[in-house]
Amino acid sequence: MAERLNLVFDLDGTLIDSARQIEDSANKVFLANGLAAFPQGVVRGFIGNGVKTLVGRLMAYQGLSPDAALQTDIVRDFIRIYEEAFDLTTLYPSAADALMALSATGHRLAICTNKPEGPSRAILRHFGLAKLFPVVIGGDTLPQHKPDPAPLLAALGALGAGKALFVGDSEVDADTAHAAGIPLALFTGGYRKSEPDRLGAKLIFDDHAALPRLIAHLLPRLQAAKSA
């Protein structure tokens, strides 16, 4: 029987395209607070380091003075809206089929994302994927969030012993994987800004349908690395 891997996935930009949903939720919250909405594309450029950082960057973009109380209110309202909003979020093509194939092969799956845990679980339920992910580490599950390695290491610890691979899409994910000493599989269709070959990934893919086959081919390399 082929060896099983612990496969930890990022969520936004890796399994789901949520940029339009995040932009819509941010605009609704800022408008509700008497602030301006954002030009198209601005919010997308700030995705990746969690909601608190996103809101802080958006406030700075608008030239607002640092205001901890206002930031806290916007973060709370954003999470409330975003946790129930799915109309502008889509799964990447073939992502669900790839996840089901990997799970059926015996690989153990987890989520490690900077999205808050509540909205993360909600989106997995919405797309019928919750049963595939017994472990979900969100941006508010621990005091630390990516690129600190603690969330990724917590996800791997919950899955149990075994060789591991982190699947992500961005510089944040690459930094997290490297800090944790875990090889990275990079999806090129997400929210990264750097060229893919600059992020030190063991595996680079642009189509989720190919992921089960690519992981199967990567396994001997992971085994050789462990025994070296």
Active site residues: 10
Q: Which of 107, 109, 118 is nearest to 79 (CA)?
A: 118
Burial degree of 120 (CB within 10 A; 0-12, 13-18, 19+): buried
The Cα 184–Cα 172 span in angstroms is 11
50 is written with which tokens?
A: 């969690």
Of 151, 123, 131, give the one whose Cα is nearest residue 139: 151
User: 163: closest CA among 98, 104, 222?
Assistant: 222
Q: What angle do CA 75, 84, 190 make, to 5 degrees?
A: 75
What's the token pair of residue 166? 């982190």
User: How far from the centroid of its chain's Cα atoms is residue 128's Cα?
Assistant: 17
